[in-house]
């Protein structure tokens, strides 16, 4: 049976900048094994919500309670410099809680775990290549592998499919789908996206961010993109 314990609780929270509220009245409960897409119009506050859930932005009112310390984050690709002087293997190793900078410091267990994560995301054959030399989709998969090194209970991703081609998008979503079925202790996954067709067939529920609110909806994964667009008033962008 899936682990349904609460990982994150949000009660009457509002997030914003200065005295301006971007989102308010947020009530959420995130439990183990759940998969949620975060969708909404551009500038609606999706990343603000994600940063609030991560604890990078304090709520202006209300409360955010994290019931686990095992949380991993995959940022937007364009927020990271690909010029890090690291191999793909070194980058992934850095995700371990026991990692130290410089691959020579990594223990055998960390090295073996990094190889397993690289294999999971289909990049084991790229282990020796520079992170800077990977394609956009490969970099995103490497960052997912790095995030998984800590064995997170909660995995949050900010538009991991943005700026990559459709085959790479499909690979990324396939990896996340495998994570959701890999074991009874599968992490809860929250993913910011801007394309409904990427979420259809993967997300168990959707958090729709618009007009300063966060609306949680259950979605039948067999629904078509057209049905999802109807559910959310025809919006299809993020």
The predicted-structure confidence for 191-231, as pLDDT tens digits, reads as follows: 998 877 788 778 878 999 999 999 998 776 444 445 455 54
Q: Per-residue pLDDT tens for 115-146?
A: 999 999 999 999 999 998 999 999 999 999 99
Q: What rounded mean pLDDT belongs to the chain?
A: 84
Confidence of residue 6 (pLDDT cuts 50, 70, 90): very high
N-to-C CA span, the chain: 34
d(CA 230, CA 191): 21
Output helix, strand, coil percentages for the chain, rounded to the nearest 5.
35, 25, 40
Pick the CATH number of 1-70+154-238 from 2.30.30.90, 3.40.50.1860, 3.40.50.300, 3.40.50.2300: 3.40.50.300
Which pLDDT score is estimated for 8? 95
Confidence of residue 185 (pLDDT cuts 50, 70, 90): low
Dihedrals φ, ψ of 21, to 5°? -85, 125
Sheet with 205-210, strands from edge to edge, namely 71-74, 154-158, 188-192, 35-39, 205-210, 213-218
Alpha helices in the chain (DSSP H): 46-54, 88-93, 108-120, 136-148, 166-181, 196-199, 225-231
The stretch 23-27 carries a mean pLDDT of 97
Q: What angle do CA 182, 236, 140 make, to 5 degrees?
A: 45
Q: What angle do CA 145, 149, 154 make, to 5 degrees?
A: 90
3-state secondary structure of 29: strand
Per-domain residue ranges of the chain: 1-70+154-238, 79-151
Which pLDDT score is estimated for 229? 54
**How many C-beta atoms surround the C-beta of residue 209 within 10 A?**
25
The stretch 146-161 carries a mean pLDDT of 93
């Amino acid at each position: 049976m899936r682990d349904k314990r609460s990982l994150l609780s949000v009660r009457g929270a509002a997030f914003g900048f200065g005295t301006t509220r971007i989102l308010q009245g947020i009530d959420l409960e995130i439990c183990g094994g759940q998969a949620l897409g975060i969708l909404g119009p551009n500038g609606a506050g999706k990343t603000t919500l994600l940063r609030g859930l991560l604890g990078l932005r304090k709520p202006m009112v209300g409360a955010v309670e994290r019931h686990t310390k095992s949380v991993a984050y995959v940022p937007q690709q364009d927020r990271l410099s690909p010029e890090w002087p690291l191999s793909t293997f070194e980058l992934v190793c850095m995700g371990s809680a026991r990692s130290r900078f410089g691959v020579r410091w990594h223990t055998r267990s960390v090295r073996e775990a990094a190889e397993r994560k690289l294999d999971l995301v289909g990049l084991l054959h790229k282990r020796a290549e520079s992170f800077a030399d990977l394609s956009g989709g490969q970099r995103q998969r490497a960052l997912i592998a790095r995030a998984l090194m800590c064995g997170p209970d909660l995995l949050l991703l900010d538009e991991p499919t943005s700026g990559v081609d459709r085959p790479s998008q499909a690979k990324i979503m396939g990896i996340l789908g495998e994570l959701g079925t890999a074991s009874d202790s599968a992490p809860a996954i929250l993913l910011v996206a801007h394309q409904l067709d990427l979420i259809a067939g993967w997300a168990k529920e959707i958090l729709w961010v618009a007009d300063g609110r966060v609306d949680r909806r259950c979605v039948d994964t067999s629904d078509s993109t057209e049905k999802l667009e109807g559910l959310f008033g025809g919006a299809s962008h993020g």
